[in-house]
């Protein structure tokens, strides 16, 4: 048994050309091409060499094809900074995470999607953020943990592996399930903004239909800004012509970056252009361009995966067992799931699989 699509997936995930894989595996490029094009399957020994060179278990290449995440279905920020090879590798990481999700969905009743779509330009990003806040019952209060909030509303969130961190984050909808893939290297505040930005794509650019609006990235940023810092909530804080000190104090209310709040105030015409430029300069001097000095906000992580792995651990399943089931090595599994997979201790005899327990998620 051999699945050609999975050979292509693994090779692109590892950013290898046919020639590079040929050299690493000691197999001719012509043969690899024939395997990928469904012309012939590799012999068992050849498949072992390919698996070793690509750092996947042999079973990876024998499982059903993974759900493909297509280039046109994803909106990347600053795509010019990213090579096609890097982008394809990240999309393949998304495909593999989606196979992990399928495995979990077979075992647990996970929250159903509750993410409406608002069509641009009928609804502006600001209006979409207000309507979604109302739909989710958030009012004007600061947004809670964004990862938990999305998970409770049926979005599946996974972390991008360390070799994909030139990408901020991306999202897509696959067979009706919305996915967000997150870069976990950024500050907690910027991580929250990334989740809100991807949420903007999910509600404004549903199924990432092309053509997008005139500038999908700006629309997603405007949505994120309005979702995290609702207009009425900001106005109630009396931030007109706010000083840098006042901005630094106020940002803690919404758990946003100082720069994001400053920009929001400028766009709401609460800061003049002069004050905005002054504040930006001052914040940059204080180190707020790339970080949030002295921040007490902790990096958000998955609640859903944590609960799922707790349940699996209590049945005696280890990370190695789960990794074997989803056909990746244990350390790769850990990279997709915010490092939350159960500890590697053999917990003794496992029993029968669970009867699809429902998960209760609180946002």
Q: What's the token pair of residue 128?
A: 């979409």
Q: How far is the CB of 201 from Zn ion (least distance, A)?
A: 6
Q: Which of residues 271-290 bind Zn ion (CB under 5 A)?
A: none
Strand partners, 177: 174
CB nearer to Zn ion: give 136 or 223.
223
Residues 6+ apart with CB under 8 A from 238: none
Burial string for 42-62 (b: 16+ CB within 10 Å, else e) reads: beeebbebbbebbebbeebbe
Q: Which is nearer to Zn ion, 76 or 108 (CB)?
A: 76
* Of 9 and 228, CB closest to Zn ion: 228
Q: Which one of 52-60, 68-76, 82-90, 207-215 is the stretch in contact with Zn ion (CB under 5 A)? A: 68-76
Q: How far apart are CA 191 and CA 245, in angstroms?
A: 23
Q: Determine the interface stretch with Zn ion among 43-51, 70-78, 157-165, 286-294 (rule: CB under 5 A).
A: 70-78
User: Is the C-alpha dihedral spanning 336, 341, 343, 346 positive or negative?
Assistant: negative
Q: Does 220 bind Zn ion (CB under 5 A)?
A: yes
Q: Cα(279)–Cα(258) distance, rounded to whole angstroms?
A: 10
Task: At 109, give phi and psi (nearest 5°).
Answer: -85, 100
Least separation in angstroms between CB 7 and Zn ion: 30
| Smallest gap from residue 182 Cβ to Zn ion (A) | 12
Between 75 and 319, name the residue whose CB sits nearer to Zn ion.
75
Q: How many residues bind Zn ion (CB under 5 A)?
A: 4
Least separation in angstroms between residue 361's CB and Zn ion is 25
Residue partners of 276: CB distance under 8 A and separation at least 6: 262, 263, 265, 266
Site stretch for Zn ion (CB under 5 A), options 12-20, 74-82, 187-195, 226-234: 74-82
- Decide whether 108 or 193 has the Cβ nearer to Zn ion: 193
Closer residue to Zn ion, CB minimum distance, 67 or 216: 216
Nearest approach in angstroms of CB 167 to Zn ion is 10
- Give the DSSP H or E segment for 158: strand 156-159
Q: Which of residues 198-217 bind Zn ion (CB under 5 A)?
A: 217
Question: Least distance from C-beta 171 to Zn ion, angstroms?
Answer: 8
- The residues near 13 (Cβ < 8 Å, ≥ 6 apart) are 54, 89, 92, 93, 96
Binding mask 75-104 for Zn ion (x = CB under 5 A): x-x---------------------------
Q: How far is the CB of 363 from Zn ion (least distance, A)?
A: 23
DSSP string covering 117-133 = ---TTTS-HHHHHHHHH
Binding segment toward Zn ion, per CB under 5 A, in 27-35, 147-155, 218-226, 322-330: 218-226
- Nearest CB to Zn ion, comparing residues 86 and 217: 217
CA angle centred on 212, ends 218 and 184, rounded to 5°: 50
Beta carbon of residue 42, minimum distance to Zn ion (angstroms, whole number): 38
Nearest distance from C-beta of residue 77 to Zn ion, angstroms:
5
List the one residue out of 101, 128, 105, 102 whose CA is nearest residue 116: 128
Which segment (69-77, 244-252, 256-264, 333-341) binds Zn ion by CB under 5 A?
69-77
Distance CA 324, CA 303 (A): 23
**Chain Cα centroid distance, residue 232:** 29
Cβ closest to Zn ion, residue 202 vs residue 220: 220
Phi, psi of 159 (to 5 degrees): -95, 145
Judged by the rule CB under 5 A, the positions of this chain that interact with Zn ion are: 75, 77, 217, 220
């Amino acid at each position: 048994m051999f699945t050609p699509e999975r050979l292509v997936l693994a090779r692109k995930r590892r950013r290898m050309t046919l020639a590079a894989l040929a050299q690493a595996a000691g197999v001719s490029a012509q043969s690899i091409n024939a395997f990928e094009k469904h012309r012939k399957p590799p012999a068992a020994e050849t498949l072992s060499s390919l698996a070793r060179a690509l750092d996947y278990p042999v079973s990876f290449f024998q499982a059903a094809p993974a759900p493909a995440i297509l280039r046109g279905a994803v909106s990347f920020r600053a795509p010019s900074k990213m090579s096609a090879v890097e982008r394809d590798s990240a999309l393949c990481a998304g495909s593999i995470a989606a196979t992990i999700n399928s495995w979990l969905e077979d075992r647990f009743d996970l929250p159903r999607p509750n993410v409406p779509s608002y069509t641009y330009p009928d609804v502006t990003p600001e209006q979409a953020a207000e309507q979604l806040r109302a739909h989710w019952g958030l009012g004007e209060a600061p947004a809670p943990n964004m990862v938990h909030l999305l998970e409770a509303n049926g979005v599946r969130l996974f972390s991008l592996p360390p070799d994909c961190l030139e990408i901020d984050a991306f999202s897509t909808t696959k067979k009706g399930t919305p996915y967000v893939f997150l870069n976990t290297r950024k500050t907690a505040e910027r991580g929250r903004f990334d989740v809100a930005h991807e949420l903007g794509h999910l509600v404004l650019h549903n199924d990432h239909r092309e053509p997008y609006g005139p500038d999908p990235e700006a629309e997603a940023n405007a949505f994120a800004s309005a979702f995290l810092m609702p207009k009425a909530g900001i106005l109630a804080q009396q931030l007109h012509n706010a000083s840098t000190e006042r901005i630094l104090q106020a940002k803690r209310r919404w758990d946003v970056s100082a720069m994001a709040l400053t920009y929001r105030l400028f766009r709401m015409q609460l800061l003049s252009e002069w004050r905005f430029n002054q504040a930006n300069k001052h914040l940059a001097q204080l180190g707020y361009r790339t970080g949030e000095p002295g921040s007490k906000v902790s990096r958000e992580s998955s609640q859903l995966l944590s609960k799922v792995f707790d349940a699996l651990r209590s049945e005696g399943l280890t990370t190695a067992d789960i990794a074997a089931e989803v056909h990746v090595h244990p350390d790769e599994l850990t990279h997709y799931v915010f490092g939350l997979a159960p500890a590697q201790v053999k917990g003794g005899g496992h029993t029968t699989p669970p009867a699809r327990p429902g998960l209760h998620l609180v946002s």
